[in-house]
A and B are shown apart, each in its own frame.
Chain A
Amino acid sequence: MSIVAAVRRANQPGVPEDSVRLRVACLGAVLVAMAACASLQEIAWATALLAMVLVSAGTIFSHITRAGPPGWVKIMVAVGALAACVFFFRAVSSPTGGITSIIDPLTVLLVAILVVHSFHVPSRRDLLFSLGASAGLMAVAAALAIDLRFGLFVVAWLACCFWGLTEMWTSVSGGGRLSVTGLVLALGAASTAAAAIFLVLPAPVVSSRVDFVAHAGAGGSVGVPGGLAGDSGVPTQLSRAGSPTGRTRVGGYLGFAASLNTALRGTLGNALVMQVRAQRPSYWVGETFDTWQGDSWSESQPVPRRPLRESSPFVLPISPGDAPFGQSDLQTFYIASATANLVFHAQSANELWFPAGKLYVDQDGTIVSPLGLGSGSIYTVDSQVSTATPAQLRADDSPVGLPAAVQSEEEQLPHPYPRVLALARSITAHDTTTYGKVESLIRWIGAHTHYSENIPPLPSGADTVDEFLFGNRVGFCEQISTSLAVMLRSLGIPAREAVGYVPGSFDPITDLYQVHANDAHAWVQVWFSGYGWEDFDPTAAVPAAPPSPGVTALDDVGSALGRIPGVPVVLAAVAVGLVVFFVRRLRARPATWAGRVARSAERAGRRAGRPRRPAETLADYADRLDELGGRVDPAWSRLAASVQASAYGGLDPPREAQRALALEAKRARVPRRAPAGSADASERPLVRR
């Protein structure tokens, strides 16, 4: 077959599709995909709603004209698709757009094609195309989805797709429908296959620069140029040094400010601070401290007031100590709740996609945003991560190589630590290399100290390192890492304190690290002349302190209670209560009409002050009730006689009559009984008619 013939054959109009259900399913898939894009702000909701209306109208038009679509529709579809493609390529190739912002034009392209195509969907093949295009739209939406709420759209879209595909088989086979078992088997098999592939395939990582999102989120300008802000939970509020009496930092962490007080580990909580898409887990550093003051860390040189003015992406200057070589690590940070305006990154940041026109960069690599980083802020960092192996670090015995000024800062100590020096020397007596000394010190700390956050704040003025190393040797990450840094400095090895976040739990669906407030961490960076600053985390080697059962249990109960959402629990309790109430009422309802008559009689008697006695037959009781009413209308006796005839005589009235008797009993009343005392109230009617 020649190419022309093949093209002609492919262009032949298909058989008109008569199945309305198939069209509705395909329309549903398209609408869900558009809604998904709108929910992720890839297109405006107004645009999405307009597109949905047009697609719906186009689908109806296509169904009506399926047998003979007008010729102008095909021309309109072709022109519309061409225009959408031209728009897409112009947007992608424009200087302000570029390939790195492909998502938005791609969304517009797909939406436009779906809209114009919906007016010319006569056959099954065209409907299949609609399903495929909706899949593309869902993929575009999924590229920006960062939480599990997107799963609702996925489920809805899949439901429409599966419905459409099964309807396609119904249409093809002239009415063949899958049985429930077949449908369950098909869906189960598809889900199993998907799950198997999901498990087998490696997790996706950012491996190219096709699309990096940068979004300002709910923040604002920070008042002071280069100032740190947002550690109190308000994006633009300037940060202040934390103290044992002022636990107002992000999640309770005291470190994202001009100084780090090591006397207290705040109560960090479990709030989600950010989600991170990264090629590999890292220590995401926010800032480093080089000046140790005995109880707190600070920076010798504050963040410069002069910003780095560029447009995104920012090419960041090389800081002293940046890793000269390594591998690239792309990380995208999605801020979930207001946090400090520090730009977190792995090791040495090279390039930064950030929603601002300027940045403040410290010489130690600390990056400060001019904008408060509120919820919804997004930025991407390309870092250079050291790939030095332990063997390489162990072999690195070259001179320090830091500028003298920098070296003096990184070896600074507020006062001599003779005991610390003696201890460090004794531990590293047999080590000749920097790496060997670091490893020995970490090993010693791991063997002789314990980790605990439940310790009282250190007394004011107490030296953290002395207290930790020569006290009870129980502390938290800031105290453990500070002790290592001070021991290294006492040995003349440049070291500094770094604070930031460690990767939290990894979500396999979104492929994002969930970083919570209690993932805030402090560790040590040690200088290696051939490799720059290398991260060491002594806390990882420290075992937890023996728990105090009472305190732990109370903590657990308190935190568990604190996590319980109030309103849903109350609503659920109310709902359960209502269900129980109605179920009990239904169960208490007599099963037979005779039972309902007896219950009505007892209820009426109770209301009238004449409850039924345990040994009293229904006939007797009805007689008493009629007496109460003066026997004007012996309705109760008549009803009781019917019940007795049914129960003992087998004379069941017809169903209609049963209903009428039960209704009559329900409506019958007994006059209320007079106050006791004048006569036998149970025998004498109180109201005579």
Chain B
Amino acid sequence: MNRWARPARPWAPIAAGVLIIALWWLVAHNAGSGWVQVLGDLVFGALLIGIGGPFVVVSRARVGVRRAPADGSAGLPVAVDVESRSRVRVRPVDPPGPEVFVGPVGPSRAVDTTVTLVPLRRGVYGSVTFDIASAAPFALQWWTKRVQLALPAALHVSPRCGPAQRVPLRSEEGTGDLLDRPRSDEGLPRGARPYLPGDPRRLVHWPATAHAGHLMVQELEQPAADPVTITVELPAEAEAAERVAEGALGSVVRLLHDGRPVVLGTTEHSGPVLAAVADRRTAGRRLARAVAAAGAGSVPRPGAGP
């Protein structure tokens, strides 16, 4: 991390500035005119501030993340609110994202601006890395500084939802008559209740909905069948681990969509974890935290692989 601001491609403006001043000085000393030198000094002063001023602006810039979601998905944009007292250009580096200007438009107090991050891989982000830049006050030279900003809450980036894999179910193993039989793992309808976000569509009870005037779903008995247990073993190689995690998430989502309880087994920083997951978000978080079995004990960073 660079503590100090760095000029962006500085040699061209510096060389041009020095050349202009040298020529100007030469003209002044050939003509002997004081006004030429006075003007040259003023131009030099303006160039100096134009080239060096942004260093001060960038060094003094105070940028912070005010709001950020707790969950995101690899490859999908995540909007975070960034606050700055001065107008600076922000380019997200880790996770990456498009550059955007943040800070007040006009001489006002600090304002929040939305910065979009596009994480490429799953992981848990406690902070984000930005390149902040400025060319104030004269837009003659850009200076850049890399800063690491803590997020208000950890950002869990789940893997992309890959294609679901076929998961063999214990009750169906080797029976040959699996599809026409009533599904024993769902239990029997016990009644109807109002729809809650996350309820499977297939449980919508249309007669009750028509009667109540709003969506109603069947409430079932506790599943009689055992939950499906998916154990994820991530390889050490980052890309391969990403693919495995994507496949695992796809399978979990599919099973959840089918109404099956799922128990997900992963290896996290603290060690192996085996716990039920009730929805996609929980599964995504678990997979975001997952590391390769051999990497347990290390911090899962997206750039370094799970």
Report if A211-B31 is in contact (Cβ < 8 Å); known contacts: A142-B36, A197-B45.
yes
Cα-based distance from A169 to B87 in the complex (angstroms)? 10
Report if A204-B138 is in contact (Cβ < 8 Å); known contacts: A176-B87, A193-B48.
no
Which of the listed residues A143, A195, A210, A332 has the most CB atoms from chain B within 10 Å of its own CB? A143
Find residues 489-543 in chain A having any chain B CB closer than 8 Å to their own CB: 507-512
On whether the beta carbons of B137 and A198 are closer than 8 Å, the reply is no
On whether the beta carbons of A165 and B137 are closer than 8 Å, the reply is yes
On whether the beta carbons of B30 and A169 are closer than 8 Å, the reply is no
Cα-based distance from A210 to B30 in the complex (angstroms)? 7
What is the 8 Å Cβ interface bit string for chain B, positions 15-53, against chain A (1 contact, 0 not)? 000000000110111111111111111111110111001
On whether the beta carbons of B106 and A154 are closer than 8 Å, the reply is no
Find residues 152-209 in chain A having any chain B CB closer than 8 Å to their own CB: 154, 158, 161-162, 165-166, 168-169, 171-180, 182-183, 186, 189-195, 197-198, 201, 203-208
On whether the beta carbons of A198 and B38 are closer than 8 Å, the reply is yes
Report if A176-B42 is in contact (Cβ < 8 Å); known contacts: A139-B24, A145-B33, A190-B49.
no
**Residue B103 lies at the interface, judged by CB distance under 8 Å to chain A:** yes
On whether the beta carbons of A193 and B45 are closer than 8 Å, the reply is yes
Cα-based distance from A174 to B139 in the complex (angstroms)? 12
CB contacts (< 8 Å) of A197 on chain B: these are 41, 44-45
On whether the beta carbons of B41 and A510 are closer than 8 Å, the reply is no
Nearest neighbor of B38 in chain A, beta-carbon distance = A509
On whether the beta carbons of B34 and A143 are closer than 8 Å, the reply is no
CB contacts (< 8 Å) of A174 on chain B: these are 101, 105
On whether the beta carbons of B45 and A150 are closer than 8 Å, the reply is no
Nearest neighbor of A183 in chain B, beta-carbon distance = B137
Which of the listed residues B25, B35, B40 has the most CB atoms from chain A within 10 Å of its own CB? B35
Cα-based distance from A534 to B201 in the complex (angstroms)? 113
On whether the beta carbons of B33 and A177 are closer than 8 Å, the reply is no
Selected contact of B140 from candidates A165, A198, A203, A332, CB within 8 Å: A165
On whether the beta carbons of B37 and A143 are closer than 8 Å, the reply is no
Nearest neighbor of B24 in chain A, beta-carbon distance = A139
On whether the beta carbons of A204 and B36 are closer than 8 Å, the reply is yes
CB contacts (< 8 Å) of B44 on chain A: these are 193-194, 197
Cα-based distance from A508 to B41 in the complex (angstroms)? 13
Interface size on B (CB < 8 Å)?
41
**Residue A674 lies at the interface, judged by CB distance under 8 Å to chain B:** no
On whether the beta carbons of B42 and A158 are closer than 8 Å, the reply is yes
CB contacts (< 8 Å) of A158 on chain B: these are 42
Selected contact of A509 from candidates B25, B31, B34, B40, CB within 8 Å: B34
Interface size on A (CB < 8 Å)?
57
Report if A178-B136 is in contact (Cβ < 8 Å); known contacts: A173-B101, A198-B38.
yes
Cα-based distance from A512 to B35 in the complex (angstroms)? 10
On whether the beta carbons of A204 and B41 are closer than 8 Å, the reply is no
Report if A201-B37 is in contact (Cβ < 8 Å); known contacts: A165-B140, A194-B42.
yes
Selected contact of A511 from candidates B37, B39, B137, B139, CB within 8 Å: B37
Which of the listed residues B25, B46, B53 has the most CB atoms from chain A within 10 Å of its own CB? B46
Nearest neighbor of A154 in chain B, beta-carbon distance = B39
CB contacts (< 8 Å) of A168 on chain B: these are 138-139
**Residue B176 lies at the interface, judged by CB distance under 8 Å to chain A:** no
**Residue B145 lies at the interface, judged by CB distance under 8 Å to chain A:** no
Find residues 82-122 in chain B having any chain A CB closer than 8 Å to their own CB: 87, 89, 101, 103-107
**Residue B135 lies at the interface, judged by CB distance under 8 Å to chain A:** yes
Cα-based distance from A509 to B40 in the complex (angstroms)? 12
Cα-based distance from A201 to B34 in the complex (angstroms)? 11
On whether the beta carbons of A182 and B42 are closer than 8 Å, the reply is no
CB contacts (< 8 Å) of B43 on chain A: these are 135
**Residue A116 lies at the interface, judged by CB distance under 8 Å to chain B:** no
Distance from A103 Cβ to chain B, minimum over Cβ atoms (Å)? 9
Cα-based distance from A341 to B88 in the complex (angstroms)? 65
CB contacts (< 8 Å) of B41 on chain A: these are 194-195, 197-198, 201
On whether the beta carbons of B42 and A511 are closer than 8 Å, the reply is no
On whether the beta carbons of A210 and B49 are closer than 8 Å, the reply is no
Cα-based distance from A377 to B71 in the complex (angstroms)? 82
Distance from A210 Cβ to chain B, minimum over Cβ atoms (Å)? 5
Distance from B86 Cβ to chain A, minimum over Cβ atoms (Å)? 8
On whether the beta carbons of B34 and A510 are closer than 8 Å, the reply is yes
Cα-based distance from A180 to B137 in the complex (angstroms)? 12
CB contacts (< 8 Å) of B33 on chain A: these are 142-145, 204, 277, 510-511
CB contacts (< 8 Å) of A594 on chain B: these are none
On whether the beta carbons of B87 and A511 are closer than 8 Å, the reply is no
On whether the beta carbons of B37 and A173 are closer than 8 Å, the reply is no
Cα-based distance from A206 to B137 in the complex (angstroms)? 36
Selected contact of B29 from candidates A189, A198, A205, CB within 8 Å: A205
CB contacts (< 8 Å) of A172 on chain B: these are 135, 139
**Residue A480 lies at the interface, judged by CB distance under 8 Å to chain B:** no
Nearest neighbor of A189 in chain B, beta-carbon distance = B49
Selected contact of A210 from candidates B31, B101, B105, B135, CB within 8 Å: B31
Cα-based distance from A261 to B69 in the complex (angstroms)? 98
CB contacts (< 8 Å) of A477 on chain B: these are none
Report if A178-B137 is in contact (Cβ < 8 Å); known contacts: A204-B29, A205-B32.
yes
CB contacts (< 8 Å) of A203 on chain B: these are 34, 37
**Residue A138 lies at the interface, judged by CB distance under 8 Å to chain B:** yes
Cα-based distance from A144 to B33 in the complex (angstroms)? 7
CB contacts (< 8 Å) of B36 on chain A: these are 139, 142-143, 204
CB contacts (< 8 Å) of A150 on chain B: these are 35
Nearest neighbor of A157 in chain B, beta-carbon distance = B39
CB contacts (< 8 Å) of B37 on chain A: these are 198, 201, 203-204, 511
Find residues 134-151 in chain A having any chain B CB closer than 8 Å to their own CB: 135, 138-139, 142-145, 150
Nearest neighbor of A278 in chain B, beta-carbon distance = B32
CB contacts (< 8 Å) of A176 on chain B: these are 87, 101, 103-105, 136
On whether the beta carbons of A204 and B34 are closer than 8 Å, the reply is yes
CB contacts (< 8 Å) of A139 on chain B: these are 24, 27, 36, 39-40
CB contacts (< 8 Å) of A145 on chain B: these are 33, 35
Which of the listed residues A168, A176, A178, A207 has the most CB atoms from chain B within 10 Å of its own CB? A176
Cα-based distance from A278 to B138 in the complex (angstroms)? 37
Cα-based distance from A511 to B28 in the complex (angstroms)? 10
CB contacts (< 8 Å) of B103 on chain A: these are 176
On whether the beta carbons of B30 and A207 are closer than 8 Å, the reply is yes
What is the 8 Å Cβ interface bit string for chain A, positions 407-433, against chain B (1 contact, 0 not)? 000000000000000000000000000
Report if A173-B107 is in contact (Cβ < 8 Å); known contacts: A194-B45, A509-B35.
no
Binding site for B on A (CB under 8 A): 135, 138-139, 142-145, 150, 154, 158, 161-162, 165-166, 168-169, 171-180, 182-183, 186, 189-195, 197-198, 201, 203-208, 210-211, 277, 279, 330, 332, 507-512
6 A–B contacts, CB within 8 A, in A order? A139-B39, A143-B27, A173-B101, A183-B137, A203-B37, A206-B31
4 closest cross-chain pairs (CB), A and B = A511-B34, A176-B87, A194-B45, A206-B32
Binding site for A on B (CB under 8 A): 24-25, 27-46, 48-50, 53, 87, 89, 101, 103-107, 134-140
Instruction: Supply 17 further A-B pairs (C-beta < 8 A) apart from A205-B29, A332-B32.
Output: A139-B24, A142-B33, A158-B42, A165-B137, A166-B137, A173-B87, A173-B89, A173-B134, A175-B105, A179-B107, A193-B45, A193-B48, A194-B38, A195-B41, A198-B37, A204-B29, A511-B37
